[in-house]
Amino acid sequence: MVFRKLPGVSASGMGLRLSQKFVFLLFLSGLVTLCFGALFFLPDSVRLKRIFLSKTETQPVTVGSGSENDAREQVKRPKDQGMTPAKGETSSIKLKSTSRKPSVSREGTEERLPGGKAQEDMTLSKSRTESAPSSEHGVDLDTFSYNKFRRCLLKAPLGRDNGTPNDPMTNERREKVKEMMKFAWDNYKRYAWGKNELRPLTRNGHIGNMFGGLRGASIIDSLDTLYIMGLTEEYNDAKEWVKTGLDLNSNGEASLFEVNIRYVGGLLSAYYLTGEEIFKSKVLELGEKLLPAFNTPTGIPRGVINLGSSGTSWSWGWASAGSSILAEFGTLHLEFVHLSELSANPIYTEKVMNIRKLLNKIEKPHGLYPNFLSPVSGNWVQHHVSIGGLGDSFYEYLIKSYLMSDKADEDAKRMYYSALDAIEANLVQKSQGGLTYMAEWRGGILDHKMGHLACFSGGMIGIGADDGPQEKRQHYLDLAAEITHTCHESYTRSGTKLGPEAFRFDSGAEATATRLSDRYYILRPEVIESYMYMWRVTHDPKYREWGWEAVQALEQHCRVESGFSGIRDVYTTNVSHDNMQQSFFLSETLKYLYLLFSEDDLLPLEDWVFNTEAHPLPVVRRSCQQSHVTQTGSQ
Ligand code: DMJ
């Protein structure tokens, strides 16, 4: 069919005139303008956004991974819902947008949270009238009330009069120790500020490779010592450096153990003593970086961790068959419980409770804990047992976990006393000269050697004496005193009156080093640590006397023009210095000496437990626990 054009009828075929067409077009364009105007000028509406924006743009930003083992995924606030605000607090829970990019797993796949719910948990922010900073790291910092924590202490942390002793001679000795601290600090500040340790002979700083690019180990390790000694100006300088100089965005390989005991421990105790928010925010930021170390088939962390975004971890090259070290993975409990307490995030406690569970279950040769364990199979790798290096602080943290839990952590208590029974049955020896010592055990064969590191055990057994079976109390006190006596002998039998790194009880030796390579002293604290605990437990004046002998020896042989240095051979008084002022000298050796000459109410043991780097951490009282995370697992 063909359409023909009719006269007077337009091509559109509607039969409209030009003027009519014009009016119609005008009407149409008015209508279109009105519709679009409505879209753009009406109030912002989620519905309209849903229509006009693409689906992907409305998805929440994903943080973390779906892998169960990925620790970073689990850094979230699981218990926010249902929290009722405390009196005086407004609880406006709101969604906070996060600028964090999706993290990428080592395999290179994007990591996602399992569901939107968890995502919401991670971004919940709770605003309160008590203003507190919010972390960029997915945890809120305002769940912990410092005031509430202080009210829960039984005594004032610094005592009635900062622990000033009544008798003038003890006070003079204490002042001497304070002077030593100031001298060590001033020289560090002058020649090595911001580095990890001072090299006092060459007057420069040492960085080393233990802390994965983190700096200022001596500053972090000194914070609490300066504070309790009343070295206010020095403490303020240290605090200022933490604010402006402590950079946690390092990408290096660090020892999980060393970063934990020095940095996490140092920042935690600085926070608990002072209430300064900067310490809390730094320690929570750092704590999160340590979590990927636990991503192993068993959850037993490896020794070395990359602090950068990869979170990769390795076993030490020297540790046989890729094993993890008992004293390393067994020395996290105290700090991690406090990380959970401060962040209200159970993840940290869960990580260390998982280690505990494995160690509790695994078969132990003669009830002993060997030093090497595979993080893959969860089996022992070698049967070497020692209360010194490689094993030491694992035992220390068992009894201290019990004490820090306000004596609630029954598993820790049971494991500690049965380990001690096994140690007594297999390792504790009496020398021909009548000295009690702890030998090392190599698959049933005894090595009659005791390391300086093992000398902490006198103090450990001393503080645990009261909580064992009543009938063994005196026995434990005697054992603690005997071991401390032996360690003191290792000092008195040297020319410098300082003890060697390891001493032996064979081939005619009695508490002396027989190998040249064991003769050095690097300003270690363990012997003095035991004096301090034994003083607190018994008040036998000999411990203060022994401490004073050590002060004099340190002054005579380790003090140099620009700081304190370790020595290469304790048996020669013509000393050769190793040119290193270790950070633990400031954190532990001088702190324990200061406490030894102070009244017991300076950091009373009812309220405080010292981590293995001598950083005081408060007892978490059940009635006062703030995180709702039990120390024996999450609720
Ligand atoms: C410190 O870092 C700690 O005491 C650790 O537990 C063992 N070694 C040093 C001090 O000797």
Report domain extents, the chain.
146-624
d(CA 317, CA 53): 53
Instruction: For 132-194, give the secondary structure using H, E and C.
Output: CCECCCCCECCCCCHHHHHHCCCCCCCCCCCCCCCCHHHHHHHHHHHHHHHHHHHHHHHHHCC
Site to probe by mutation for ligand 1, drawn from 260, 393, 528, 610 as the one with most ligand atoms within 8 Å of Cβ, is: 393
CA of 612 from ligand 1 middle (Å) equals 6
User: 263 C-alpha vs ligand 1 centroid, how far in Å?
Assistant: 13
Is the pLDDT at 470 greater than 90, yes or no?
Answer: yes
Q: Which pLDDT band holds residue 578 (cuts at 50, 70, 90)?
A: very high
Q: How many angstroms separate the CA atoms of 359 and 103, rounded?
A: 32
Give the tokens for residue 442: 């190599």
Distances, alpha carbon 155 to alpha carbons 144, 150, 151, 470, 619, in Å: 20, 9, 9, 27, 12
Mean predicted confidence (pLDDT) in 555-578: 98
Whether 129 shows a pLDDT value over 60: the answer reads: no
pLDDT digits (tens, 9 = 90+) for 132-167: 333 444 444 457 999 999 999 999 999 999 999 999
Query: What count of Cα atoms within 13 Å lies in the side-chain half-sphere of residue 456?
Result: 23
Q: Ligand 1 centroid vs 184 CA: distance in angstroms?
A: 18
Region 245-257: mean pLDDT is: 96
Residue with CA closest to ligand 1 atom 3: 613
- Given a cut of 50, whether residue 222 has pLDDT beyond it is yes
> What's the CA-to-centroid distance between 90 and ligand 1, angstroms?
45
Higher-scoring residue by pLDDT: 509, 126: 509
Atom of ligand 1 nearest to the CA of 258: 2
**Substitution site in 225, 255, 453 for ligand 1 pocket (most atoms within 8 Å of beta carbon):** 453
The pLDDT score that the predictor gives to residue 62 is: 24
The domain 146-624: what is its CATH number? 1.50.10.10
Provide the angle, in degrees to the nearest 10, between the axes of the packed helices 265-274 and 217-228: 30
Q: Are 211 and 199 in contact (CB under 8 A)?
A: no
Query: Atom 10 of ligand 1 has which residue's CA nearest to it?
Result: 524
Q: Which residues line ligand 1 (CB under 6 A)?
A: 261, 393, 453, 524-525, 584, 588, 612-613
Q: Is the dihedral of CA 247, 620, 537, 510 positive or negative?
A: negative
Q: What residues are annotated to the active site?
A: 501
Q: Is 297 helix (H, G, I), strand (E, B) or coil?
A: coil
Buried/exposed 57-79: b ≥16 CB within 10 Å, e otherwise:
eeeeebbbbbbeebbbbbbbbbb
User: Which contiguous run of DSSP H or E holds residue 340?
Assistant: helix 333-343
Nearest CA to ligand 1 atom 8: 453
Give the relative orientation of helices 392-404 and 410-426 as an angle to the nearest 10 degrees. 150
Q: How far apart are CA 134 and CA 281, in angstroms?
A: 8
Opening angle at CA 322, ends 316 and 328, nearest 5: 55
Distance 583 CA to ligand 1 centre (A): 10
Determine the distance separating the centroid of ligand 1 and the alpha carbon of 261, expressed in angstroms.
9
Residue 431 has pLDDT above 50, yes or no: yes
Q: Give dist(CA 362, CA 329) in Å, integer.
A: 15
Specify burial of residue 617 (Cβ count, 10 A radius: 0-12, 13-18, 19+). Answer: buried
What six digits make up the tokens of 506? 């064979």
Ligand 1 centre and the CA of 322: distance in Å? Answer: 23
Q: Please, which pLDDT band fits residue 29 given cuts at 50, 70 and 90?
A: low
The pLDDT value recorded for residue 28 is 65
Q: What percent of the chain has pLDDT over 70?
A: 76
Cα 586 from Cα 85, distance rounded (Å):
41
Helices and strands (H, E) in the chain, number of each type:
22, 23
Q: What is the pLDDT of residues 270-311, one digit of tens each?
A: 999 999 999 999 999 999 999 999 999 999 999 999 999 888
360 touches 411 (CB < 8 A): yes
Prediction pTM value: 0.80
Look at residues 267, 231, 225, 261 and name the one whose alpha carbon lies nearest to residue 246.
267
pLDDT value at position 23?
Answer: 61
**What pLDDT sits at residue 105?**
26
pLDDT above 50 for 57: no
- Reported as a single tens digit per residue, the pLDDT across 604-621 is 999 999 999 999 999 999
Q: At what angle do helices 168-192 and 542-553 cross, to 10 degrees?
A: 30
In testing the pocket of ligand 1, which one of 218, 588, 589 has its CB within 8 Å of the most ligand atoms?
588
Atom of ligand 1 nearest to the CA of 262: 2
In this predicted model, which residue has the larger pLDDT, 89 or 635?
635
Give the pLDDT score at 309. 85
Q: What does the pLDDT average to over 316-336?
A: 95
Q: Quote the DSSP letter at residue 512.
A: B
Is the pLDDT score of 337 beyond 80?
yes
Mean pLDDT for the stretch of residues 523-533 = 99
Do the Cβ atoms of 90 and 127 come closer than 8 Å? yes
- HSE (side-chain half, CA atoms, 13 Å) at 430: 5
What pLDDT band is residue 366 in, cutting at 50, 70 and 90?
very high
Q: For residues 571 and 494, what is the distance between their CA atoms, to the nearest angstrom?
A: 5
Note the pLDDT tens digit of each residue in 473-502: 999 999 999 999 999 999 999 999 999 999
DSSP 366: G
Query: In the prediction, which pLDDT does 618 show?
Result: 98
Percent of the chain with pLDDT over 90: 74
How does pLDDT run across 68-125, given as a tens digit for each residue? 223 322 333 323 222 222 222 222 222 222 223 222 222 222 222 222 222 222 222 2
Residues near 82 by beta carbon (within 8 Å), at least 6 away in sequence: none
The residue whose CA has the least distance to atom 6 of ligand 1 is 612
Tell me, what DSSP letter sits at residue 29? H
Q: Is the pLDDT of residue 225 over 70?
A: yes
**Which ligand 1 atom sits closest to the C-alpha of 614?**
4
Checking DSSP bridges between strand 445-447 and strand 449-451, what pairing results, if any? unpaired
The candidate with the shortest Cα–Cα distance to 223, out of 583, 582, 522, 596, is 583
pLDDT at residue 329 in the model: 98
For residue 47, with 0-12 CB atoms within 10 Å meaning exposed, 13-18 middle and 19 or more buried, which class applies?
exposed
Whole-number Å distance between alpha carbons of 95 and 118:
12
Question: Which has more pLDDT, 7 or 181?
Answer: 181
Per-residue pLDDT at 243 exceeds 90: yes
Of ligand 1's listed atoms, the one at least distance from the Cα of 526 is 11
Name the residue of 325, 396, 524 whose CB sits within 8 Å of the most ligand 1 atoms, as the mutation to test its pocket.
524
Question: Residue 19's pLDDT band (boundaries 50, 70, 90)?
Answer: low
Residues 325-349, mean pLDDT to the nearest whole number: 98
Distance CA 565, CA 218 (A): 14
Q: In this structure, are residues 85 and 91 in contact, taking their beta carbons and an 8 Å threshold?
A: yes
Residue nearest to atom 11 of ligand 1 (CA): 524
Q: Are 178 and 231 in contact (CB under 8 A)?
A: yes
- Separation between Cα atoms, residue 613 and residue 400, nearest integer Å: 13
Q: Are 145 and 89 in contact (CB under 8 A)?
A: no
The H-or-E segment that residue 559 falls in is: strand 559-560
Give me the chain's average pLDDT, please: 83
Q: Given a cut of 70, is residue 187 above it in pLDDT? A: yes
Give the span between the Cα atoms of 631 and 330, in whole angstroms: 15
Residue 603 predicted with pLDDT over 80: yes
d(CA 611, ligand 1 centre) in Å: 10
Tell me which residue has tokens 């939107």. 116
Residues composing the chain = 635
Which ligand 1 atom is at minimum distance from the Cα of 331?
6
User: CB–CB of 386/402 below 8 Å?
Assistant: no
User: What does the pLDDT average to over 180-189?
Assistant: 99
Q: What is the average pLDDT across 40-58?
A: 30
What residues does 110 pair with on adjacent strands?
104
d(CA 58, CA 38): 22
Residue 19 main-chain phi, psi, to 5 deg: -65, -35
